[in-house]
Amino acid sequence: MPRLVMKFGGTSVANMDRIRNVARHVARERKAGFDVAVVVSAMSGRTNELVGLCQDAAKLYDPREYDAVVSSGEQVTAGLLAAVLQGNGLPARSWQGWQVPIVTSNAHGSARILDIDGTALLEGFAKGEIAVIAGFQGVDPATRRVTTLGRGGSDTSAVAIAAAIKADRCDIYTDVDGVYTTDPRIVPKARRLDRIAFEEMLEMASLGAKVLQVRSVELAMTHKVKTFVRSSFDDPEFPQPGTLMCDEEDIVEQQVVTGIAFSKDEAQITLKQVADHPGVAAAIFMPLAEANINVDMIIQVASEDSVTTDMTFTVPGAEFERTKAILLKAQPQIGFASLHGASDVVKVSAIGVGMRSHAGVAARAFKALAEKGINIRAITTSEIKFSVLIEAAYTELAVRTLHSLYGLDKG
């Protein structure tokens, strides 16, 4: 029989009515002749609540215990859905990550899936059983401790399982009916895409579109998993196809810019009057690299005295305080006059494989943003995307401006 992986996110399983609705989607595919593995998230809000409890338990909590706690949300949903399916006369059982097993690295809180043995799941299929698998979790075989895959990790569980059991398709059901040209909650004129290239989805996800976890896109791309993003709120009897992630060549109507993403999880650091001599960039960025802090955009501006320079760069918002502390500690070695930081910044990015063959795409954006009075604090570009750092208050205006500029608004 053909095999299918169906993943349902938090809002899709938020209460018993929605779980019953999910069971209808599953029953439809079963009836259509698929062996089905369902991957579920925790009921919406549950993971945040569990994270809060961990923070309450201890200031510097043990990441292994964090994983023991936050992985529990998915276990509940898996059991509930299996029970509902059974109640509807469909053989089903729940699986926790370690039971499959889904083997991961030991990086608690953001573990990577290393291996999935699909044998037991396939044995279940042979008995006509639907597998309901708790997403987001795995096991570190060396310690036999439960691990979690980072926020949004159930997407990655689903795609990895699809690759492991060689599923014909992986359907990611969520609260929107596909991947849009930008977050439809911010821009009502956003358009749903029938298809998106893997590379573009990878950039969209990396640059802030949380509709798919970045690692799930990487896995879909490397293992060529046919993955759709679609809505669990569609009538289970009349499902819509959603958005297919596919190779660039399989997209007929290619736009220059496919989508706009934004990330509020950014912080800006400016070091004023840094002594301008060889080795200074290393003196700034080496200590940050050693502390595992990812530096993203970097701008160096020669100052008027031409003896010193100002250095501006961005780090993830969560690393803002740590970055400042490290740099202030290293101030005598680096040699700068002052440090200025801002966390009310946002990175807005435009993505499209068409940028490879079109010049001046970013320049148009700079002009359009300037016309709206939006000041650009930093810029980065690469082959298929460019990003600008702006004040957070202008997020919506900037996203909407770029969305219209590149002809993405729906008619």
When the beta carbons of 151 and 223 are compared against ligand ADP, the nearer one is 151
Q: Is 7 annotated as a binding residue?
A: yes
**Considering only CA atoms, which of 153, 194, 202, 188 is closest in space to residue 39?**
153
Nearer to Mg ion, 227 or 314 (CB): 227
For the segment 340-379, give every residue that binds Mg ion (CB under 5 A).
Answer: none
180 is in an annotated binding site: yes
CB of 74 to Mg ion, least distance (A): 12
Report the chain's C-alpha Rg in angstroms.
23
Q: Is 174 annotated as a binding residue?
A: yes
Q: How far is the CB of 232 from ligand ADP (least distance, A)?
A: 8
* The entry of ligand ASP, Mg ion, ligand ADP, none that residue 133 binds, CB within 5 to 8 Å by partner kind: none
How big is the site for Mg ion, counted in residues (CB under 5 A)?
Answer: 2
Q: Is 135 in the site for Mg ion (CB under 5 A)?
A: no
Q: Is 124 known to sit in a ligand binding site?
A: no
Q: 63 vs 135, which CB is nearer to ligand ASP?
A: 135
Side-chain half-sphere CA neighbours of 47 within 13 A? 26
Q: Choose the one of Mg ion, ligand ASP, ligand ADP, none that binds residue 73, judging by a C-beta under 5 to 8 angstroms depending on kind.
A: ligand ASP
Q: Does residue 211 have a known ligand-binding role?
A: yes
| CB 210, min distance to Mg ion, A | 6
At 236, phi and psi to the nearest 5? Answer: -55, -25
Is position 171 annotated in a ligand binding site? no
Which residues in this chain contact ligand ASP in the complex, by CB under 6 A? 9-10, 41-42, 47, 73, 135-136, 151-155
d(CA 144, CA 41): 22
Residues that bind ligand ADP (CB under 6 A): 9-12, 41, 152, 174-176, 179-180, 182-185, 204, 209-211, 259
**Sequence-ordered list of residues with C-beta below 8 angstroms from that of 337, at least 6 positions apart, any chain:** 272, 273, 308
Instruction: Write the DSSP string, 295-344.
Output: ---EEEEE-TTSSEEEEEEEEEGGGHHHHHHHHHHTHHHH--SEEEEEEE
Among 124, 135, 138, 152, which residue sits at the site for Mg ion (rule: CB under 5 A)? 152
Q: Does 97 bind Mg ion (CB under 5 A)?
A: no
CB nearer to ligand ASP: pick between 41 and 258:
41
The partner in contact with residue 136, picked from ligand ADP, Mg ion, ligand ASP, none with C-beta cut-offs of 5 to 8 angstroms by kind, is ligand ASP
Pairing type for strands 338-351 and 259-275 reads antiparallel
Query: To the nearest whole angstrom, how small is the minimum distance from the Cβ of residue 121 to Mg ion?
Result: 22
271 within 8 A of 311, measured Cβ to Cβ: yes
8-state DSSP, 180: B
Output DSSP code: residue 389.
E
Locate 237 and state its tokens.
């009897």
Indicate whether 73 belongs to the interface with Mg ion (CB under 5 A).
no
- Residue 333, both tokens: 């070695």
AA identity, residue 274: V
Question: How many angstroms separate the CA atoms of 411 and 407, rounded?
Answer: 10
For 319-325, the CB contacts below 8 A with 24+ separation are: 319/267, 319/293, 319/294, 320/267, 320/269, 322/291, 322/293, 323/267, 323/269, 323/288, 323/293, 324/269
Binding partner at 153 among ligand ASP, Mg ion, ligand ADP, none, C-beta below 5 to 8 Å by kind = ligand ASP
For residue 226, say whether it is annotated as part of any ligand binding site. Answer: no
Binding residues: 7-10, 47, 74, 174-175, 180, 185, 210-211
Residues near Mg ion (CB under 5 A): 9, 152
Binding residues for ATP: 7-10, 174-175, 180, 185, 210-211
